[in-house]
Structure 1
């Protein structure tokens, strides 16, 4: 499997999470690394995922990975 890097400019860290936006509902969803075929999703490293900020009034939904 090919290593995926953070989508942030000048960041070369490995991606661990995927961010998507729902502009109509003013919501951002951050979850485990997605399959990688969505052009509207943004991969983030752990540092950028932890520092995520959204516009005032928006909701952030953070999905945790299920572990067995």
Structure 2
């Protein structure tokens, strides 16, 4: 089953998952998660590259190896 980007109006295929910790002001973007976490948001490549967080937040971006 294809997973779609969580951004409103976007119908692109999801390639990453965004999770966040509001209290710790931290966000992490990594490979697609298991899909059963209601606090995780799938993003397409377009929105993964353009994702920003509020000032003062730490963003961790996990890379995957490509050939």
Task: Give the TM-score taking structure 2 as reference length.
Answer: 0.93
Q: How many pairs align?
A: 67
Partner of 2:9: 10
Partner of 1:52: 51
Partner of 2:25: 26
Task: Give the TM-score taking structure 1 as reference length.
Answer: 0.92
Question: Separation in 2 of the partners of 1:44 and 1:20?
Answer: 11
Matched residue SS, 2:48: helix
Question: Separation in 2 of the partners of 1:30 and 1:55?
Answer: 15
How far 1:65 sits from its partner (Å)?
A: 2.4
What residue ranges of structure 2 are gaps of 5+ in the alignment?
Answer: none
Runs of 4+ displaced beyond 2 Å: none
